[in-house]
Amino acid sequence: MKILSTDIPQVLLIEPQVFEDARGFFLESFNQKIFTDKTSLHYDFVQDNHSQSAYNVLRGLHYQITQPQGKLVRVVVGKIFDVAVDIRKSSSTFGKWVGYELSAENKRQLWIPPGFAHGFLVLSEVAEVIYKTTDYYSPGGDRTILWNDPDLAIDWPLQQPPILSAKDSNGRLLKDAEVYE
């Protein structure tokens, strides 16, 4: 496993070791000991989520104000542009974002720690995203920041307006959102 730093030090891009031959490939998608040894982080993952989305669907920017979730995100079908936004008010990177292409082909994963909002845009015909979380889903604490907040200025690789849920269309601006202290 190779750990790559990002412009926000707590967000990590992870490249698993892939063993390929004529039959296909094998990789360890997660190993607690290696993750902890290489990152000095220890989290217990309690839930796995799996979503499927069509081309140009944009999901996010989601977070939970109660029961904040760390997420380890990977793509098993297709390709996405995955974004993490620091919404920890006391952080030197508050309001900053990083985004990376994750795909079934590159097999990269993104570690997004608790205290961040998360979203992604589907770049392929279809994408299936799987992510581990460090806490359970809490419907009462679920929040959304507007994907196109001008203060965030996320450079989504859009060719046309995205397909959004009602929840994502009605997200709040970061300046009006409940955030972490």
Active site residues: 62, 131
CA atoms within 13 A on the CB side of 10: 18
Instruction: Quote the CA–CA distance of 119 and 82 in Å, as a whole number.
Output: 6
| Secondary structure (DSSP) of 9-64 | TTSEEEE--EEEETTEEEE-S--HHHHHHHH-------EEEEEEEETTBEEEEEEE
Name the token pair of 15: 């490249």
